Amino acid sequence: MAHKFEIWKDKRGEFRVRFKYNSEVMFSTEGYSSKASAQNAIDSIKKNGPDAPIEDNSSAS
């Protein structure tokens, strides 16, 4: 599979989620105090992501 979510623990002991496509990190989340919270973030992205609007700020000053 070319894309995947990854839960990892940072140096501060917080759980983080990153989304990878072909081993390239596309985005990562804030730190969570529990692994369950990190999994909830993944579930939320999967559930709400397909319908999320695109906000284009590229022409903003």
Q: Would you state the pLDDT for residue 51?
A: 87
Total domains, the chain: 1
* Within-domain flag for 55: no
What domain range is 38 assigned to? 3-45
pLDDT tens, residue by residue, 10-61: 999 999 999 999 989 999 999 999 999 999 999 999 999 888 899 999 996 6
- DSSP string computed for the chain: --EEEEEEE-TTS-EEEEEEETTEEEEE---BSSHHHHHHHHHHHHHHGGGPPP---TT--
How far apart (Å, rounded) are the C-alpha atoms in residues 60 and 17? 29
In a domain, 13, yes or no: yes
Q: Is residue 33 part of a domain?
A: yes
Tell me the β-bridge partners of 6: 18
Could you tell me if residue 15 is inside a domain?
yes
Tell me if 52 is assigned to some domain. no
CATH, residue 12: 3.30.160.160
